[in-house]
Amino acid sequence: MKHIRLLLAFATILALFSCQENDMSDYTGKDAVYFQYSSDWSDSKDSIVYSFAGKESNEGIVNLQVNLMGNTTDYDRTVKLTVATSQTTAKEGLHYKALENAYMLKAGENQVIIPITVYNTDESLETKPVKLVVDLAESDDLSLGIKGRTRAVITISNILSKPSWWDEAYMDYYMGSYSKVKHEYCIRILGQDFPANYDGFFDTYEYWQQAGVYMSQYFKENYPIYDENGNAIEPW
């Protein structure tokens, strides 16, 4: 656990440097926008996984953060998103709520959070995930920013899967090796699923540290419990 504290301390320092890197006040080109996928500015992974497994609601929100390259203004500006239909398997109205015609970057602001509503009304999500591919588009006010950061891919399912941030957060130290059966037990015993993203974990890492100790003891006291591959889940 001491090793974990050191890693988290390092991550905090890195986040501070990332904030400095994200300062585009010296940018001199045309004002533009790009996606920031997590609190770590250097994170360029464009894929976001949203699973309804373990959740009671059939509606969820995926927040997309759009950052400004350039100068703030004293008036609102338009940010536009489009669906890349040729690469999207999700269906509007069935898997996600239709996008707005435009979103607002408020006066004086250098970022906007855009909520994307997703639905769990399709039974096939229990066996096959779908993808919603969203692109930033130029508007009258703003052009496209950093290359490679103008697309976000949202995977929607009702299947338990290893969180995309699991390895990044060194979750094996907290929860041991991932398995779907372990995931199911964690939801059942703890009464909640793992955070949707790394930021959610980072904000609650002390809880997950304690939860990991608790779950390890649970698997020890109820040994053996077998995972989906027939292997006994070992306490960690």
pLDDT, one tens digit per residue, over 70-98 is 999 999 999 999 999 999 999 999 999 99
Question: Does residue 115 have a cis peptide bond before it, meaning omega lies within 30 degrees of 0?
Answer: no
Res 47: pLDDT: 80
CA angle 232, 223, 159 (to 5 degrees): 55
Res 27: pLDDT: 56
Assess whether 196 and 137 both reside in one domain: no
Q: How many domains does the chain have?
A: 2
Assess whether 32 and 132 both reside in one domain: yes
Which structural domain, as residue segments, surrounds residue 178?
160-236
Q: Model's pTM, two decimal places?
A: 0.72
Domain boundary among 91, 122, 157: 157
Assess whether 143 and 174 both reside in one domain: no
Assess whether 133 and 97 both reside in one domain: yes
Nearest Cα residue to 213 out of 181, 191, 229, 190: 190
Res 45: pLDDT: 66
Res 44: pLDDT: 52
Assess whether 64 and 112 both reside in one domain: yes
Domain boundary among 157, 186, 210: 157
Assess whether 139 and 53 both reside in one domain: yes
Res 28: pLDDT: 60
Res 138: pLDDT: 96
The type of residue at 138 is E
Assess whether 59 and 83 both reside in one domain: yes
**pLDDT per residue as tens, the chain (236 positions):** 445 555 555 455 444 444 444 545 455 679 999 999 865 555 556 788 888 887 889 999 999 999 999 999 999 999 999 999 999 999 999 999 999 999 999 999 999 999 999 999 999 999 999 999 999 999 999 999 999 999 999 999 998 889 888 998 999 999 999 999 999 999 989 988 898 788 889 889 899 999 999 999 999 999 999 999 999 999 99
Distances (CA, A) of 195 to 162, 207, 208, 212: 11, 11, 10, 14
Long-range pairs for 218-225 at CB < 8 Å and ≥24 separation?
218/185, 218/189, 219/182, 219/185, 225/181, 225/185
Assess whether 140 and 165 both reside in one domain: no
Residue 121 lies in a domain: yes
Domain boundary among 157, 191, 217: 157
CATH number at residue 61: 2.60.40.2030
